[in-house]
Structure 1
Amino acid sequence: MERKKQWMIYGMLTFATSTWGSAFIAGKVAIESFDPATISFLRFFGAALLLFPIMWLVEKNTPKPRKKDWVLFALLGLTGVAIYNICFFLASKHAPVIKSSLFIAANPMLIMLLSGLLLKETISKRNVIGLLLAFAGVVTIVTEGNLMIFFRFQFEPIDFVLLGAVITWALYSVIGRVVLRKYSSIVSTTYAVGFGTLFLLPFSLFEKPWQSIATSTLPAWLAIAHMSVFVTVIGFILYYYGIQKIGAAKASIFINVMPVSAVIMATVFLGETLTLTTVIGALFVISGVYVGTAVRRQKEKPISHAKTG
């Protein structure tokens, strides 16, 4: 029964990170009508409108947040919602897609490192091997097998923005693990989205969104609705539930599913070509996720030990 529950959690994490891949497709549609910060604000504002009623309905026995808890919720909103999205969209506009994708692909490694150092989570050799396999798959997909691309990159100021995106999402995952010791995934996600929406508001107002609303299209609004409901509400809750149950380090391995789902959806909905290199990369990712999360039958020596009690 325990093993069945674990596979159910893995399924939830796979679904969550797959929906994040669909955000790339929805973003392409929404960006035709709105500017980046406005898309982010509308996405999370819509999610907040759904999340708060759900939280009030489902989580009736939630402990009252203290001042320290409010600070942590605000940090979640600042890192994983506001700063991450601003950095991500800035990078999307000013950096090559390949470079942006490779930076984001490094995220699970930083999350695993911080989880081991700060949270004292157990990180096994199997976790590390799985993560490296999945990362190799993502690199294969993004570079289309041409590793010489690495040597063509030059340092640019936008790289600091990309680094900011990687660091803030890693902090969101690690801080979230601390918050989840006291609060459920629904409560944690709701308050994080609430604070993040407030932080995004001034950036959206700077873009004068009222001018875009007049010329916006129905597909753009549907794309934002998709990102609010599936990518944010469902995706974020399931991701945090996974972190709560199996830890930030192991849950982060599933982030590698995101580019695979993005490529598959781009092939189906945007008519892009599915290449043999992409298929090989996807197999590496799937293998890495399996190796990194498979239930061990024998105890193996961990790299770092979690504190118990």
Structure 2
Amino acid sequence: MKKTVAYISFSTLMFSLMEIALKLAGGAFDPIQLNLIRFAVGGIVLLPIALSALKKQKRQLNWKDLGLFTITGFVCVIISMTLYQLAIVYSPAATVAVLFSCNPVFALIFSYLILHERLGRANLISVVVSVIGLLIIVNPAHLTNVVGLTLAVTSALTFGLYSIISRYGSQKRDLNGIVMTCFTFLTGTVELLAIVLVTHIPLISQSMKQVGYLKPFANIPIIQNISWQYAPLLFFIGVCVTGGGFAFYFLAMETSDVSTASLVFFIKPALAPILAAFILSEQINLPTIVGIVIILLGSVITFIGNRSKSIRSEMGQPVYPEKQTDLEASKILDKVKDLNSNIEDED
């Protein structure tokens, strides 16, 4: 139990400091470059643990696994995390942290739409409550930072999509979470590096410079400003936050269960803004505080619902008791119909 608490505490702290660290590094590094560096380092940090997990499982990766990592790497690293990194540039770190923490809500929606998984009562209530909190923070009637908020919400949405693809793929390919995450990071890094190198081709670079919104993405740097001066910050972002945060999250999952480990993402919406206020001196307005409280309420509802399902599953009881009741009622009705039919036949 002590180990689980330690793992969750460290992972929560690292994930809550993520936006703050990236905000601090934003002045020295290009957003795409920083994305490339942190996932390369994070993947390398996770690699020994992932290889050890594969060895215990007596499992070797194949081309089909690589195909899966190519998809998850593209959705996670290139789309979601690039949008996330850009959102940090245009929005306060606390706002991005809270909005991104809503990604489990989007994951629930995608699980219903793509995997046709049933939304339990608790999850459905959580989705509604979290969306209300999200709308209070974004405040569509008085938008002042359209670009930043759009990037943050889209990043959370696509990360929710990545979560579902990753879960579905890991179940089909029999790969655990840390293996999926590690090779998603590494494959996504290779894909992102290929895109960055394309921006250095003279013809493409010149063409991008002619378009206003593409100009910042021409000649994206790769190793610029990587020096001893920024080594501690890069170490913290790559090793501690990205690699260590995910590593300890999965260790918490191994020593407890998924619902307990998910406390990491439920605490972050409250902790990240407090840390941002202390470290970056960011001001948190009243609507944001109200939105955070409502989103935390949604997170608590999700946690309680997941915990209840986990306990019922371990005890061999139905995960959705209301669904089981409906099935039992349906069976009784069928028996009554059969009995009436038999009586009519006898008559």
- TM-score, scaled relative to structure 2: 0.65
Aligned residue identity for 1:34: F
CA-CA distance at 1:192 after TM superposition: 0.8
2:163 aligns with 173
Match of 1:193 among 181, 185, 195: 185
Partner of 2:109: 113
The verdict on how the C-alpha distance between 1:50 and 1:89 changes in structure 2, with shifts beyond 3 A counting, is: closer
Tell me which moved more, 174-183 or 58-67. 58-67
Conserved 8 A contact 2:129-2:295: yes
Q: How does 1:239-250 map to 2 (within 5 A)?
A: 246=258
Name the counterpart of 1:307. none
Closer/same/farther in 2, CA of residues 246 and 212 from structure 1, 3 Å limit: closer
The C-alpha deviation readout for 1:261-302, integer Å capped at 9, x for no partner, is 220111222234566666554443333222222144996536
Tell me: CA distance 1:153–1:98, structure 2 relative to 1, closer, same or farther (3 Å).
farther
CA–CA distance in structure 1, aligned partners of residues 166 and 242 of structure 2? 15
Counterpart of 2:105 in structure 1: which amino acid? M
Deviates more, 1:40-49 or 1:279-288: 279-288
Larger-gyration structure (1/2): 2
- CA positional deviation for 1:109: 2.9
Question: d(CA) in 2 for partners of 1:188 and 1:273?
Answer: 37
Confirm or deny that 1:55 pairs with 2:39. no
SS of alignment partner, residue 225 of structure 1: helix
The answer to whether the 8 A contact 2:36-2:192 is kept is yes
Instruction: Render the CA deviation track for 1:185-210: whole Å, top value 9, x for unaligned.
Output: 22111111110111222455532344
Partner of 2:166, secondary structure, is helix
Gaps of 5+ in 1: 144-148, 303-309
The CA distance in 1 between the partners of 2:71 and 2:84, in whole Å, is 18
Instruction: Note the C-alpha offset of 1:179.
Output: 3.2
What is the rounded CA distance, in whole Å, between the counterparts of 1:89 and 1:293 in structure 2?
28
Specify whether residues 152 and 96 from structure 1 end up closer, same or farther in structure 2 by C-alpha distance, changes over 3 A only: farther
Offset at 1:58? 4.7
User: What is the Cα deviation at residue 19 of structure 1?
Assistant: 2.8
Deviation at 1:107, TM superposition (A): 3.0
Q: Which residue of 2 aligns with 1:268?
A: 278
Give the aligned partner of residue 146 of structure 1: none
CA shift digits 1:12-54 (9 cap, x unpaired): 6786465333111101221121111111111112122222223
Q: Which amino acid aligns with 1:49?
A: I
Amino acid at match of 1:174: I
Q: Which of 28, 33, 36 lines up with 2:31 in the alignment?
A: 36
C-alpha distance in 2 between matches for 1:158 and 1:254: 24
What amino acid is the match of 1:223?
Answer: L
- Deviation for aligned residue 1:173: 0.1
Q: 1:78 to 1:202 in 2, by over 3 A?
A: same
- 2:175 counterpart residue number: 183
Contact 1:77/1:192, CA 8 A, preserved across alignment: yes
How many residues align? The count is: 286
- Identity across aligned pairs (percent)? 24
Offset at residue 221 of structure 1 (A): 3.0
Tell me, yes or no, if structure 1 residue 301 matches structure 2 residue 322: yes
The residue correspondences of 1:267-286 to structure 2 (distance < 5 A) are 267-273=277-283, 280-286=290-296
Q: Give the aligned partner of residue 71 of structure 1.
A: 67
Distance 1:285 1:96, change over 3 A: closer
SS of the aligned residue for 1:180 comes to: helix
For 1:278 and 1:158, the matched residues in 2 are separated by 15
Residue range with higher mean Cα deviation, 115-124 or 237-246? 237-246
CA distance in 1, matches of 2:161, 2:100: 14
Flag structure 2 segments of 5+ consecutive residues without an equivalent: 198-218, 313-319, 324-347
Map 1:150-229 to 2 at 5 A: 150-153=140-143, 165-181=155-171, 182-204=174-196, 206-213=219-226, 218=229, 220-229=230-239
CA RMSD between the two structures: 4.1
CA gap 1:273/1:25 in 2 versus in 1, 3 angstroms: same
2:37 is paired with a residue of what secondary structure?
helix
Amino acid across the alignment from 1:176: S
**Distance in 1 separating the partners of 2:285 and 2:91:** 24
Q: CA deviation at 1:116?
A: 2.3
Q: What residue in structure 1 maps to residue 202 of structure 2? A: none
Alignment partners' CA distance in 2, 1:251 and 1:137: 23
Deviations 1:78-100 (A, max 9, x none): 11122222222334445798996
